[in-house]
Structure 1
Amino acid sequence: MKLTYRGANYEYDIPTVDMIEGEVAGKYRGQNWNYRYPRHIPVPQKSGGPNYTKKQDSQAGDGNLAAASAPATVKSYPTVVDVAQVHRANICNILDRRKEAAKAKGDERLLRLLEIESRQMVC
Structure 2
Amino acid sequence: MQLTYRGANYEYDIPTVDMIEGQVAGKYRGQDWNYRYPRHIPVPQKYGGANSNTKQEVQALRDVAAASAIAAVQSSPTVAEVAQVQRRHICSILDRRQQVAKAKGDERLMRLLEIEWKQMAC
What's 2:108 paired with? Answer: 109
Distance 2:2 2:74 in 1: 50
| Cα distance in 1 for residues equivalent to 2:74 and 2:4 | 51
Instruction: Count residues in correspondence.
Output: 79
Q: Distance in 2 between matches of 1:48 and 1:121?
A: 41
User: RMSD between aligned alpha carbons?
Assistant: 3.2
- TM-score (normalizing by structure 1): 0.50
Whether 1:51 and 2:70 are equivalent positions in the alignment is yes
- Aligned mates of 2:94, 2:105 — CA distance in 1: 16
Question: Does the 8 Å contact 1:3/1:12 carry over to 2?
Answer: no
Aligned CA distance change for structure 1 residues 80 and 14 (closer, same or farther; 3 Å): farther
Q: CA deviation at 1:48?
A: 2.2
Percent identity reads 46
Of structures 1 and 2, the larger Rg is shown by 2
TM-score by length of 2: 0.51
CA-CA distance at 1:9 after TM superposition: 2.2
Cα displacement string for residues 78-120 of structure 1 (whole angstroms, at most 9, x for unaligned residues): 1110110011111101101110111111100001110110111
Determine the C-alpha separation between the residues in 1 that align with 2:92 and 2:108.
20
- Structure 1 residues 20 and 108: alpha-carbon distance in aligned structure 2, compared to 1, 3 A threshold: farther
Aligned to 2:91: 92
For residues 16 and 114 of structure 2, the distance between their equivalents in structure 1, rounded to whole angstroms, comes to 59
- 2:15 is the counterpart of 1:13: yes
Q: Is the 8 A contact 1:103 1:111 kept in 2?
A: yes
Structure 1 stretches lacking a partner, 5+ long: 22-44, 53-72
Alpha-carbon spacing, 1:9–1:83, altered in 2? closer, same or farther (3 Å): same
Once the two structures are superposed, residues 28-57 of structure 1 have per-residue CA deviations (whole angstroms, 9 ceiling, x without a partner) of: xxxxxxxxxxxxxxxxx53224135xxxxx
Aligned to 1:8, the other structure's residue is in SS state strand
Deviation of residue 74 (structure 1)?
A: 7.8
Name whichever structure is richer in helix by fraction. 2
